[in-house]
Amino acid sequence: MTTLLGIDVGGTFTDVIAFDEISRTVLVDKVSSTPARPEEGIVAALCKLREERGFDLGGLGVFAHASTVATNALLEGKMASTALVVTRGFRDVLEIGTQIRPEMFDLGVVKPAPLVPRGLVFEVDERIDRVGGVVRAPTPQAIDAVVEQVRAAGVESCAVCLLFSFLNSDHEMQIARALRERIPDLGVAVSAEICAEIKEYERASTTVVAAALQPLVADYVAGVERGLEEQDVTAPFFVMQSSGGVMSAAQAQANAHRMILSGPAAGVIAATGLARIEGLRNQITFDMGGTSTDICLIYEGEPRMERESSFEGRPIQVPQVDIHTIGSGGGSIASVDEGGLLRVGPGSAGATPGPACYSRGGVLPTTTDAQLVLGRIDADRFLAGEMHLDLEAAERAVSDQVATRLGVSVEEAAAGILDVADAVMARGVRVVSVNRGFDPRDFSLVAYGGAGAMHALDVATIADVARVLVPPFPGAFSAYGLVNAELRQDVHRQIERLVVAIDPGRLEVLWEEMADGAGERLGGIAGAGSTIRLVRSMRLRYSWQDNAIELGTGDGPMTPERFERILGKFHAEHDREFGHSNPLDPVELVAIGLQMIGELPKPPLTAAQLEEGVPAPATARRVYFASNGWTETPVFERSALRPGHSILGPAIVEEREATVVVTPGSEMRVDRYANLILTPELEVR
């Protein structure tokens, strides 16, 4: 194998990273996304690599991909028509949901409509009890009847979710086999395969989401595979999961629900790679793209994970990186409301028509327009001059929609737009840190995405984060995460017993059963000779409580002594996250988990010798800062910076995919790994 390729399809741009193992060089590129047909953006990127950059597609060893196709389908409600098969008497599982209210005292809250209308929910006469025993098995006639109901409904996909199937899946699998055999074109999602966990409503919701996305994602992945074939790409094709690991294309077609946070997770994995550097174990990722900003906390070198989340009001149970998303990006639209308040987002100009300065028909001001008006972006050097920005259009949009309505200058209006956007994003940083018991002063803010490095210092100052780190090629950093990813499969086994009644030796047996065949399953995908790692975990909670904490068990057998140490860690983590703990209270083991991780080749992390000195600027231009007004500001080429170089702000650092804003009084230095380390002005902090 000679080359690793990662392509991240975002809402505005498609980012490309290629790493050549022989020459040790990294190639970075960016093309406009094609939201209507996202697979076309991938083919366009491949064509550009070959025709304009002389890239040998035939030499690819691994191709990894992240996409927003599942996310967008959920957001826009454009999914396959879906039926749901349930245990008799539980037809209203999606309608009833849970007693939890999104807003406690808001009587006008409207719950999202179920993805499956009640008329497409079909019952089957069967029953499994709460310990997995068969109370009533479905007869062949009952299975035939429900299959015919699904056929007559004319749906594209069907979810099967029966009571207590996470303990005994026999009935679900009988129905699934019948559906697949008799309706070959039907997509089928079974809760025992999708989400074998307790909580009936959440399990049903997750299975329905998987079923509704399955045909769409299967078509998309098949389209990408056709495009790869047309471009003579024969390398293995992997897709990023929400959990931060990649899966094969075939697995992606059957597990569409695992792609909902595909793109943001790739960036977190890239940042996690940086956590191997001493002093960077604790990070808060700050991924600001065209439509949103994704924020995640990495503690002691590991990103926080979650198993339960909500998307558009619908619960989803799937292992995923704990990412907090804010509707604030480079394309976020600024407006003045009826009360005279300036607002930025969550509405976005997206890729089409885009910001006013893109000259694609957009007339509303965005944060990108504000950055251009203030001189922080060079209109003639955007994307290394490949795309010219219209400064006059940006000034006109900011003036008409904001400055005139507020009675301020265009510069003050543009600065106000950035201030509002920064405040919103800083609040998001505090949500993942302070709100969860972490001190942001102990963390670095890792800024990437096309717009992240322009806002990072101001956001860090507001949120009281110690420092900002801007990695190499920040505008395509999520794509870099794709070439650093590992294969991953997550398996869980429901336990729900008091820990005092559990034999640690029995847990060893269960983990061995879960791991059976892991090397075969992952090794066949990763390639012969690949290393397979098994990471075990336990999910614990206080008895009769609902706040569970998942903890790794570490290496070695589960002895009583190790079990006691994990319990001690549980009490400490519960106290940190929820503000209380009681070591005398009974503790339940909710479930055990196993991550099966298959190693893939990845670029090495190499350090360089430090060179003291201050680099010479490439040029200078007038840039507006709220504290200084218009200031003649040196502009540096990032490619000319060397490890050890330092700069005192104000300054601008430019590279093809991103611009770094070093605010007045702040300091920037280049570390051994070519990361830019920025420290906010001490007087401000």
Band (pLDDT 50/70/90 cuts) for residue 214 is very high
pLDDT of residue 196: 87
Identity at 514, one-letter amino acid code: M
16 against 572, higher pLDDT: 572
Residue of 266, 262, 272, 270 lying closest to 318 (CA atoms): 262
**Residue 25: φ, ψ to 5°:** -105, 150
- Which ranges in 579-615 belong to alpha helices (H)? none
Q: Which residues contact 202 (CB under 8 A, 6 or more apart)?
A: 195, 308, 315, 316, 317
Query: Rounded CA gap, 496 and 502, in Å?
Result: 10
Averaged pLDDT for residues 519-531: 60
Span 33-90, pLDDT tens digits: 776 777 787 888 888 888 777 777 777 788 898 888 888 788 778 889 999 999 999 9
pLDDT of residue 685: 41
Query: Rounded CA gap, 161 and 158, in Å?
Result: 10
Residues 216, 220, 221, CA angle at the centre, nearest 5°? 120
Query: Rounded CA gap, 685 and 683, in Å?
Result: 5
Neighbours of 130 (CB within 10 A): 10
325: its two tokens:
């998303």
pLDDT for residue 651 is more than 70: yes
pLDDT for residue 533 is more than 90: no
Pairing label, strands 246-248, 82-87: unpaired
Q: How many residues does the chain have?
A: 685
Averaged pLDDT for residues 315-333: 88
| Mean of per-residue pLDDT scores for the chain | 88
Band (pLDDT 50/70/90 cuts) for residue 619 is very high
Band (pLDDT 50/70/90 cuts) for residue 683 is very low
In eight-state DSSP terms, residue 404 is H
pLDDT of residue 526: 57
Span 490-503, pLDDT tens digits: 888 888 899 999 98
Residue of 332, 564, 307, 562 lying closest to 455 (CA atoms): 332
**8 A C-beta contact, residue 284 and residue 295:** yes
Span 123-160, pLDDT tens digits: 999 999 988 999 999 999 999 999 999 999 999 999 99
Distances in Å between the Cα of 309 and the Cα atoms of 95, 281, 304, 315, 338 are: 19, 26, 13, 6, 34
374 against 254, higher pLDDT: 374
Going along the chain from its start, the domains and CATH numbers come out as: 3-74+218-259 (3.30.420.40), 77-215 (3.40.1360), 487-598 (3.30.1490)
Span 172-210, pLDDT tens digits: 999 999 999 999 999 999 999 998 888 899 999 999 999
Distances in Å between the Cα of 206 and the Cα atoms of 66, 192, 221, 558 are: 21, 11, 21, 32
Band (pLDDT 50/70/90 cuts) for residue 240 is very high
414 against 522, higher pLDDT: 414
Rg value, the chain, Cα:
26
